[in-house]
Amino acid sequence: MSTVSIPTTLSEQVVAAIRSVVGAGPAVLHEPSFSGNEWLYLKECLDSTVVSSVGKFVDRFEAGLAAFTGAKHAVAVVNGTAALHIALKLAGVRTSDEVLVPALTFVATANAVTYCGATPHFVDSEARTLGVDAEKLRDYLASHTEQRAGQCVNRATGRIIRALVPMHTFGHPVDLEGLLVVAHDFKLALVEDAAESLGSYFRGQHTGTFGLMGTLSFNGNKTITTGGGGAILTNDAELACHAKHLTTTAKVPHAWDYRHDEIGYNYRLPNLNAALGCAQLEQLPSMLVAKRELFQRYHAAFSPVMGARLMAEPEQCHSNYWLQALLLEPKCADQRDAILQATNDAGFMTRPVWILMNELKPFVSCPHMDLAAAQSLSQRLINIPSSSSLVPVAP
C-alpha cells in the first residue's frame, strides 16, 4: 500500500500550496506573455524602417497609456528609472536637496534621486499596504523638520526636503489620501513611483495620477512589457511638454539644424519597443483578470497554512497583483530562507523582498527615520510565481 506524505513543516506546506495552484512546475517568478499582435506590430515597425525614438507606435503607445490610466499626458521613455529621474528634475529636485523615499523599495527609486545630485531620505512602511506609512511620516516630519520660506528643511542636515516619492509595492496602492495631505502640509512635491502598479486603483483612480507626476515601468518582468521602457504620467501639459523635450536630448525642433537649449537626455522610447507595448496594452485587461484569478486561487490554497498569509489589496483599493506575496508571521521569520530553499528546490522560483535601501553600501550614510516596520517586513516577505499565464483566461 502506498502512502501519501502529509506536509508538516511550513516549508512543505508552502510548496504544497503553490503546487496545488500552478501544477508540478517548474514555474518562474514572472514572465511576459506574448499572445496578441506582438509579431504583427513588430513586423510592421521593421518593414517601415522607423525603429528609433520617433514613430507612430510611440504616439499610439503614449495615447493608449493616457487613456488607460486616465492621465491627461503620458511620455514614453527607455525605462522606469529614467522616468523617475526626469520627473524628479521637473518637480524641482536640485543638488543638495533631500527626497523622502521608502527604505523598502527597489534600488531604482533611490538611484533616481542621486541622479539629480540629491540625497535619499529613507522612511518607514506599513504592513497594510507595504508602502509609506503616512501617519508615522507626519509625526517624524513634525519633530525633525521646520518650515523656512515655504520650504521643508531637515533640522539635522540643514538641507531642503524637496519631494516625497511613495512606491506602490508589488502593485498594492499606498495610502495616497494620507500622503497627499502630508505632502501639502509640509510643502513637498509628490511624485509617485508607480513602476509596479499599472492597472492598480486607489478609490477608483489609477495610481500614478495623484501627484504632480507618476512614473511607470515596462521592464521584462512587469505586468506588460516593452522589453525595457517606462513612462511619465501627468495632468500638466507644460510638464509633459518639458519631459518630452528633456528626454529627446533637449533638441529644438528644426528641419535640419542641431540646436539644444538645455542639458538633455537620450531617454526616449524607441518605436520598436513601443510597437511591442501597443500589442501588450491591448491584452492588459485580460492579464489583470488572470492575475486576480491567480490571487483567488492562491488565497484559497494558503488559507489553511498557519504562519503565512497572502498579501491582499488594501481596503478601497484595486490591485493589479503584479507580484503575489506571502507575509510570514513574526514568529516564523526565521523560516524564510528555508522556505526560499524548499520552493526553489521544488522548481518554483521564489524571491525575498529587497534589502532595505539604508543597508546598501551606496546609501548607508543617508538620513532615515525609525524603520522598525520596514525592517520587520523585509525579513518576512516572499514573492511566489505570479505570471498571468499561470491562469489562462479568455480574451
* Res 394: pLDDT: 55
> What digits encode the pLDDT tens for the residues 6-24?
678 999 999 999 999 999 9
The interaxial angle of helices 176-185 and 134-144, nearest 10 deg, is 20
| Helix or strand run (H / E) with residue 29 | none
Strand-pairing partners, residue 151, are: 148
* Res 5: pLDDT: 61
Mean of pLDDT over the chain: 96
> What digits encode the pLDDT tens for the residues 264-291?
999 999 999 999 999 999 999 999 999 9
What CATH number was assigned to the domain covering residues 10-33+284-390?
3.90.1150.10
SS3 88: helix
Domain boundaries, the chain: 10-33+284-390, 38-280
Q: Which residue from 135, 221, 123, 134 is spatially nearest to 171, judged by alpha carbons?
A: 221
Q: Cis before residue 26, ω within 30 degrees of 0?
A: yes
What CATH number was assigned to the domain covering residues 38-280?
3.40.640.10
Q: Is the pLDDT of residue 132 over 70?
A: yes
Order of all β-strands in the sheet with 201-202: 205-206, 201-202, 317-318
Residue 1 binned pLDDT confidence (cut-offs 50, 70, 90): very low
Set of cell numbers at residue 239: 510638464
Our CA angle for 152, 153, 154, nearest 5°, is 125
- With contact defined as beta carbons under 8 Å apart, do 310 and 60 qualify? no
Average pLDDT over residues 315-342: 97
The Cα 157–Cα 372 span in angstroms is 22
> What digits encode the pLDDT tens for the residues 152-188?
999 999 999 999 999 999 999 999 999 999 999 999 9
Set of cell numbers at residue 62: 503614449
Average pLDDT over residues 335-360: 98
Tally of CA atoms within 13 A in the half-sphere of 330 that contains its CB: 6
The residue with cell 511613495 is 166
